[in-house]
Amino acid sequence: MWHCFQRGLAGSSGERYNTAMALASSLDPYVDRASPVHALDARVKLALTLALVLALALVPAGRWLALATIAALLWWAILRSAVGPGLILRRAFIAAPFALAAMTLAFTRPGAPVVTLSPGPLTITITDAGLVAFVAVILKTWLSVQAALLLMATSRFTEVLGALRSLGLPSMLVAMLGFAYRYLFVLVDEAERLLRARESRAAALPGRRTGGTIAWRAEVLGGMVGTLFLRAYERSERIHAAMLSRGYTGEWRSLPARPLTSGEQGLLITGAALLAAIVWLAHWR
């Protein structure tokens, strides 16, 4: 399904989501593995992931020991998770393009100059404070993505939804997320068919400019978006009718969430306390 249109489509976004979807489908095998991290309740994992990401944001730039301690905690969990550490470390580079924006920190923060580059008429001075801020942002981003990857590679999506419900997300939003996840892949297939249809009707020689003005191309794409909307809408009408015929009344019923065991509560409290201590030490020591 992926290889069909990887070649023809010029453009970052389409290819990006192709790879993103391929990545997501290839995270699925890891969800079924057995490890202490997999066995842990998704509510605990979600809460600890959020706490870890928050702790990373709270560590001031330049406190490398604090960052290293948080990284050690995270990597300890990754090593126990039966999900290859290489996989998570590699895939965590997904936010790398955005890191370019952080590069500007290196020469806009005031501080002692480290290197002065002068490409052409420009003069760029990299400062020590700027460099520290830049490296800190990159490391924080990298570690945060790893934490999110670990959560999603060791929990089923439905478990994460249940955890979000327990955290107080309105049931309407939880239900919408569940539906969106269920039909995401169906509609992406639909979009792929639209793209393939356009591709097969738009011959182009390699290296040659394809026809039409930008406005015309946008109009074609707008037509495709409108068509996709109509197909999605009509599909949702069929789904709704099928649900009504099975007794759907607009209410969402689920089994009540079981209370956390004392072991899980202990892990949650210990983890949160450790992270809080690291942040506290980073600020005041």
CA dist., res. 275 & res. 270, Å (int)? 9
Strand partners, 125: 116
**8 A C-beta contact, residue 85 and residue 35:** no
Q: For other proteins, which is the closer residue by CB, 23 or 263?
A: 23
Stretch of 30-38, 76-84, 137-145, 255-263 lying at the interface with other proteins (CB under 8 A): 137-145
Which are the contacts of 92, defined by CB distance < 8 A and separation ≥ 6?
Answer: 142, 143, 145, 146, 149
Alpha carbon 37 to its chain centroid, in Å, reads: 19
State in angstroms the smallest separation of the CB of 119 from other proteins: 7
Restricted to residues 115-134, the positions that interact with other proteins (CB under 8 A) are: 119, 121-125, 133
Stretch of 37-45, 73-81, 185-193, 263-271 lying at the interface with other proteins (CB under 8 A): 185-193
Compute and round to an integer the Cα radius of gyration of the chain.
Answer: 24
Angle at 152 between CA 50 and CA 5, to 5 degrees: 130
Q: For other proteins, which is the closer residue by CB, 65 or 184?
A: 184
Q: For other proteins, which is the closer residue by CB, 34 or 100?
A: 100
Q: For other proteins, which is the closer residue by CB, 37 or 153?
A: 153
Look up residue 61 and give its amino acid: A
Q: For other proteins, which is the closer residue by CB, 225 or 266?
A: 225
State in angstroms the smallest separation of the CB of 114 from other proteins: 13
Restricted to residues 138-177, the positions that interact with other proteins (CB under 8 A) are: 138-145, 147-149, 152, 157, 160, 170, 172-173, 175-177
Strand partners, 124: 117
What is the DSSP secondary structure assignment for residue 254, as one 8-state letter? -
Restricted to residues 16-45, the positions that interact with other proteins (CB under 8 A) are: 16-18, 20-21, 23-24
State in angstroms the smallest separation of the CB of 25 from other proteins: 10
Q: Which two tokens stand for residue 272?
A: 């949160």
Which are the contacts of 276, defined by CB distance < 8 A and separation ≥ 6?
Answer: 55
Restricted to residues 58-117, the positions that interact with other proteins (CB under 8 A) are: 58, 91-92, 94-95, 97-105, 107-110
With 0-12 / 13-18 / 19 or more C-beta atoms within 10 angstroms meaning exposed / middle / buried, residue 261 is exposed
Alpha carbon 205 to its chain centroid, in Å, reads: 36
Q: Which of 236, 254, 261, 270 binds other proteins (CB under 8 A)?
A: 236
CA dist., res. 221 & res. 211, Å (int)? 14
- For tokens 């989501």, what's the residue? 17
Restricted to residues 256-285, the positions that interact with other proteins (CB under 8 A) are: none
State in angstroms the smallest separation of the CB of 158 from other proteins: 12
**8 A C-beta contact, residue 55 and residue 68:** no
Q: For other proteins, which is the closer residue by CB, 18 or 41?
A: 18
Q: For other proteins, which is the closer residue by CB, 230 or 269?
A: 230
Interface map 189-228 toward other proteins (x if CB under 8 A): -xxx-xx--------------x--xxx-xxxxxxxxxxxx
State in angstroms the smallest separation of the CB of 261 from other proteins: 25
